[in-house]
Amino acid sequence: MSQIKLKLPDGQFLDVKKGNTVLDVAEQIGSGLAKVAIAGKVDGVLTDLRTPLLQDADFEVVTKKSDEALEVYRHSMAHIMAYAVQKKYPDAKFGIGPSIENGFYYDFDLPAKITADDFEEIESSMQEIIKANLPFERKELTKEEALDFFEKKGQKYKVELIRELEDQPITIFRLGDFVDLCRGPHMKSSGEISAFKLLSVAGSYWRGDEKREMLQRVYGTSFRTPKELKAHLDMLEEAKKRDHRKLSKELGLFSTHEEIGPGLIIWHPNASRIRHVIEAYWKEQHYKHGYELLYTPHIGQSVLWETSGHLNYYQDSMYSPIDIDGANYYLKPMNCPFHIMAYKSELRSYRDLPLRWAELGTVYRYEKSGVLHGTMRVRGFTQDDAHIFCTPEQMAGEIREILRFSLSLWRAFGFSEIKAYLATKPAKAAGKDNEKWEQATEALKNAIIAEGLDWEVDEGGGAFYGPKIDLKIRDALGREWQMTTVQFDWNLTERFDMTYIGADGEKHRPYMIHRALLGSLERFFGVLTEHYAGAFPPWLAPVQAVVLPIADVHIPYAEKVLAKLRNAGIRASIDTSDDKIGYRIRQAQLKKIPFMIILGAEEAEEDKVTVRYRNGENKKMLDLNEFIDSVEWRKADI
């Protein structure tokens, strides 16, 4: 039998027999390693232990402690759940069941509706499957054999998937009486996993197509140990308390209405106050960083979107045209074509560049109703958008400045854990100018390194028209959110024939950089609300201080204090209701107001204030002016 050569992580090469499995190779390296092996990585791809190796490759053994182990645990747990559902519903038809971040899911076509009330029964069945320690058995079939097998079982969704596969060996995995079309990898047996919990069930169209069958998607989570599982479940409970939709009802932030349409947000006064503060800070910071602001229309003629390519490549996310004077107009899904037209309104010289133009521009994109989620996923939203037009020589410096600006903005809003992802050239990229791609990618990488960010490469993750940096932030619960994007674009500069006159007197193409720092105001607001659990820092709080006179006789003094607070630019209110002072304090705390200024006879007599802080701390008989000076009521640089 012929030999193949495997390159190990330490750079050494290992000669093995062609056809040996991943587990055979692990045994060859060491019996101890084989005992803890749960998968392999072959040329960077997670591969099942039972997979034969047929050609030279980079090779690594994935153990129970490896970072990738959880993906294998969770994929195996999806099969265990599917087997349990099959036991409950023998006529079940199966969609797909992948591992996902922090868990897994499986899509089912069932004769009855699954609810959370069924979870205990399904989990009990899963525990029995785990206790039985059933092996995951891998088998290769021809395409014809696989079609015949699943057609006889009446598994129409599997048959549809198989028909689209190439004519090559197709793998199935058996776990007890459950057989699934699957590439793997899986654990050696069901008994190797135990820490799991079913979480929720939701509707899911087959293959994401609203015209296809509606399936039931059951979500679960799984971890290596019960301790890790408990920590995750505790985090999910805390996340429920912080859900921005729940907090919105408690704090009067925003609403949606069927009469208006799903995914369209009404900002209520409290949220509007916060938005105003965010926008004011955003605008002043942009002016300080050398930007100018634009305001552009909400609609544009079809010719604009034909030139930009949106009608060819993005039309499914655009709304139907509006006929105005015989011409088709579209609600804008992007701001960039408008900024380009502003650039083209006059002849540009290299001496004019860079141009940094920003806009809080509201755009409209079609999202399926099933994915709409509070302010996080909507159909109309305001991007904190900007475009930089510069020369090739200015590009590297502009990227550094954008990244530095973004980090300062995130830290001002209270986010300190930030990771960068460098998305490189995809397989199908526009244009053949590799030098531009390399130059831009290097500039992005150097900017990340210069700012000392934790980062990794997202190989091939760039847009077809240019590489990009994505910044992901971690919130108070450790959840990662993709927010900032810094992206090169040579496609639109060509499409719109953008030029500038260089020092040589000739026309040149400018470099165009798309840049969104917060992403969108709606999504950012949702993340911000959950990060602070609605208890916004004083500079962002919609009501920063509430004045609480103990009795009616103290109202005149309370009104004087209120006037001083407002004259100092503080967002203050007064509660003169008939309720007892204790009740009014509790109400203020429920509204998460940072400061409660309590005024009675002693305070009025000595021209002082007693301040109760949101955390329950009290400070008595303070000088009002000193108190005002001691608090960061607004960012110093607004």
DSSP-assigned letters across all residues of 120-142: HHHHHHHHHHHHTT-B-EEEEE-
Mean pLDDT of 11-30: 91
pLDDT at 239: 95
Q: What b-and-e string marks burial along 186-225, b requiring 16 or more CB atoms within 10 Å of the CB?
A: bbbbbebbbbbbbbebeebbbeeeeeeeebbbbbbbbbee
CB 294 within 8 A of CB 358: yes
Sheet arrangement for strand 468-474: 292-293, 355-364, 380-390, 511-520, 480-489, 468-474, 418-423, 454-458
Spatial separation of the C-alpha atoms in residues 207 and 114, rounded to whole Å: 20
Task: Give the residue carrying structure tokens 């048959």.
Answer: 159
Tell me whether residue 289 is one of the annotated catalytic residues. no
Task: Give the residue carrying structure tokens 């004045």.
Answer: 547
Tell me whether residue 514 is one of the annotated catalytic residues. yes
CB 356 within 8 A of CB 386: yes
Spatial separation of the C-alpha atoms in residues 560 and 611, rounded to whole Å: 16
Residue 438 tokens read as 């390399």
The DSSP output letter for 476 is T
Tell me whether residue 445 is one of the annotated catalytic residues. no
Among residues 41, 158, 387, 554, the one annotated as catalytic is: 387
pLDDT at 82: 97
pLDDT at residue 320 tops 90? yes
Among residues 74, 336, 436, 575, the one annotated as catalytic is: 336
Tell me whether residue 336 is one of the annotated catalytic residues. yes
Among residues 155, 285, 383, 544, the one annotated as catalytic is: 383
Mean pLDDT of 169-175: 94
Among residues 74, 232, 468, 592, the one annotated as catalytic is: 468
The domains found in the chain, sorted by start residue, are 3-63 (3.10.20.30), 69-233 (3.30.980.10), 286-296+335-530 (3.30.930.10), 545-630 (3.40.50.800)
Query: What Cα–Cα distance (Å) separates residue 617 from each residue in 281, 453, 571, 589, 595?
Result: 29, 37, 21, 12, 10
Spatial separation of the C-alpha atoms in residues 122 and 32, rounded to whole Å: 35
Among residues 48, 385, 489, 575, the one annotated as catalytic is: 385
pLDDT at 66: 85
Among residues 356, 365, 425, 584, the one annotated as catalytic is: 365
Mean pLDDT of 69-75: 94
Spatial separation of the C-alpha atoms in residues 148 and 140, rounded to whole Å: 14
Q: Are strands 13-17 and 3-7 parallel, antiparallel or unpaired?
A: antiparallel
Residue 501 tokens read as 């006159």
Helices 156-163 and 143-152: crossing angle in degrees, nearest 10, is: 160
The pTM score is 0.87
Among residues 242, 514, 554, 612, the one annotated as catalytic is: 514
Residue that wins the pLDDT comparison between 2 and 581:
581
pLDDT at 251: 97
Tell me whether residue 186 is one of the annotated catalytic residues. no
CB 150 within 8 A of CB 36: no
pLDDT at 636: 65
Tell me whether residue 182 is one of the annotated catalytic residues. no
Please, what is the average pLDDT of the chain?
Answer: 94
Neighbours of 595 (CB within 10 A): 24
Tell me whether residue 387 is one of the annotated catalytic residues. yes
